Amino acid sequence: MVRVAVAGASGYMGAELLRLLSVHPKITLTGVTSDRLAGEPLGKAYPHLRGLSDLRFHDLDAAWLTDVADVVFLALPHMESQKLMPVLRQRGRKAIDLSADYRLRDPNDYVTWYKAPHIDLPGLGEAVYGLPELHRKAIATAALIASPGCYPAGAILATAPLFRAGLARLDGIVIDGKSGVSGAGAQGRKIDPMYLYTEANENVQAYAIAGHRHTAEMEQELSALAGAPLRVSFTPHLLPLNRGLFTTASVPLASAASSARLLDVYREFYAGEPFVRVLDEGERPATRAVTFAWPFAARKWVTTMPPAVSMASMVLRGASLCLPSWIGRRPVCSWSTNRISSTPGRIAPPRKVPSAASMSTVVAVPALTTSEAPLCSARAAISAAQRSGPSTSGRS
């Protein structure tokens, strides 16, 4: 059994992660932290976990985490995980970071997008972007996994096959993302008019126009796939949903391609992938379709016709707002909510699709709202911990 601790377990990501870890057959939950709930029984904060654990929340303490766990999930606010990682790394612990602290490879991007310099450059240099569909081999041996953000997971999975195959142009890329309210994480608990019921209900709002932080992740991963720098025009929207994410990506093609050709490209790219399903021509994705999906079923639906659509589960597949969707070798449990995440969704064609297209639009819809990518990335880290054997340190 692998000993696992969750730092920041009182947030949306932490709560969803605890639910998954509590029923995983190869994991023992040995520690949870929350400065806000320190000393309180886990079952009191989360009644649905009563009887599954007798743990109490502990103050955030990196040294304590290394004593009680082999693998640590960091479900902390942005720019906080990098303060703990040096201690975890020094003591040989593996970590899955659900924040944005280790997603961007260029440290200068943190000054640009997060308005603060990165203070753990060694950790940033060794971190692996935790999208298994792109980096599975690297994740399997990584000591630090950076769980993708929810919007990037949906956008990247929806368009990756086009860039890898050299079918996409590198200009005119438009990403339209729609997220449920829980996608804001702890921000949704603050007194911000945008998240109030009377403002969010029966309403759709665009926000962070031309300046959302997830833009950097999208450009980083898609540029790597394309083999050249590219830029995307990304606009996020807030939907009156608790959980769920829907992404539409419009990508100009380098040359006209038939729907059949594009479908073949997507099917080949995602062949054997447990988290991605390519829909047949004429099928369309919807957030409701992934509401009760298992982690393996939180899929991205892709279509080769313009436009293409992908759906993902917000709480399960995106780091910033999504949890990893896999740990170990089997699904951990079923999901009961719809939320935007970085899990793969589906891509569906428009009602009338021409035989050949010069533009491919992909739409992604996540099923859960808080975070899913971390769990997907966690599988390799936990498997690696199992191979190396249990830690010799004491248990809490």
My answer on whether 159 and 289 are in the same domain is yes
My answer on whether 183 and 230 are in the same domain is yes
pLDDT of residue 391 exceeding 60, the answer is: no
Check if the beta carbon of residue 324 is closer than 8 Å to that of residue 128.
Answer: no
Higher pLDDT, 328 or 291: 291
Range name among 135-149, 278-292, 300-314 with the lowest pLDDT average: 300-314
My answer on whether 157 and 142 are in the same domain is no
Question: Does a cis peptide bond (omega within 30 degrees of 0) precede residue 307?
Answer: yes
Q: Total structural domains in the chain?
A: 2
My answer on whether 381 and 273 are in the same domain is no
Supply the residues annotated as catalytic.
Answer: 150
pLDDT of residue 128 exceeding 50, the answer is: yes
* Global confidence as pTM: 0.78
Q: Is residue 396 part of a domain?
A: no
My answer on whether 204 and 341 are in the same domain is yes
Token pair belonging to 358: 């010069």
My answer on whether 291 and 313 are in the same domain is yes
Check if the beta carbon of residue 310 is closer than 8 Å to that of residue 239.
Answer: no
Cross-strand partners of 310: 247, 364
pLDDT of residue 33: 96
Average pLDDT over the chain reads 76
Q: Is residue 395 part of a domain?
A: no
CATH of the domain at 68: 3.40.50.720
pLDDT of residue 366 exceeding 60, the answer is: no
Token pair belonging to 373: 């990518």
Q: Is residue 68 part of a domain?
A: yes
pLDDT band at 155 (very low <50, low <70, confident <90, very high): very high
Q: How far is the first Cα of the chain from the last one, in angstroms, to the nearest whole number?
A: 15
Taking residues 106-117, report their average pLDDT. 96
Taking residues 102-125, report their average pLDDT. 96
Instruction: State the Cα–Cα distance between residues 43 and 180, nearest whole angstrom.
Output: 26
pLDDT band at 358 (very low <50, low <70, confident <90, very high): low
CATH of the domain at 364: 3.30.360.10
Instruction: State the Cα–Cα distance between residues 168 and 232, nearest whole angstrom.
Output: 13
pLDDT digits (tens, 9 = 90+) for 53-100: 889 999 999 999 999 999 999 999 889 999 999 999 999 999 999 999
Higher pLDDT, 46 or 325: 46
My answer on whether 316 and 269 are in the same domain is yes
Cβ within 8 Å of residue 154, ≥6 positions away: 177, 245, 247, 300, 310, 311, 312, 317, 318, 340, 341, 342, 343, 344, 345, 364, 365, 366
From the CA atom positions of the chain, what is the Rg in Å? 20
pLDDT of residue 340 exceeding 80, the answer is: no
Beta-strand pair 232-238/173-179 = parallel
Question: Does a cis peptide bond (omega within 30 degrees of 0) precede residue 229?
Answer: no
pLDDT digits (tens, 9 = 90+) for 165-212: 999 999 999 999 998 887 655 544 555 777 777 778 888 889 899 999
User: By percentage, how much of the chain surpasses pLDDT 70?
Assistant: 70
Query: Positive or negative, the Cα torsion across 198, 203, 204, 209?
Result: negative
Taking residues 297-307, report their average pLDDT. 42
My answer on whether 259 and 358 are in the same domain is yes
My answer on whether 138 and 155 are in the same domain is no
The range of the structural domain enclosing residue 247 comes to: 150-373
pLDDT of residue 342: 28
pLDDT of residue 279: 80
Q: Is residue 393 part of a domain?
A: no
Q: Is residue 102 part of a domain?
A: yes
pLDDT of residue 190: 58
Q: Which residues of 241-254 are buried (b: 16+ CB within 10 A; e: fewer)?
A: bbbbbbbbbbbbbe
pLDDT of residue 377: 45
Check if the beta carbon of residue 240 is closer than 8 Å to that of residue 198.
Answer: no
Q: Is residue 350 part of a domain?
A: yes
My answer on whether 383 and 360 are in the same domain is no
Token pair belonging to 290: 């992934």
Closest CA to 222 of 146, 178, 166: 166
Closest CA to 322 of 368, 261, 379: 368
Taking residues 278-297, report their average pLDDT. 66
Check if the beta carbon of residue 264 is closer than 8 Å to that of residue 289.
Answer: no
Instruction: State the Cα–Cα distance between residues 97 and 389, nearest whole angstrom.
Output: 22
Check if the beta carbon of residue 150 is closer than 8 Å to that of residue 175.
Answer: no
Range name among 10-19, 23-32, 35-44, 80-89 with the lowest pLDDT average: 10-19
If one counts every other C-beta atom within 10 angstroms of the C-beta of residue 52, the result is: 16
Higher pLDDT, 328 or 304: 304
Q: Is residue 394 part of a domain?
A: no
My answer on whether 232 and 206 are in the same domain is yes
My answer on whether 234 and 206 are in the same domain is yes
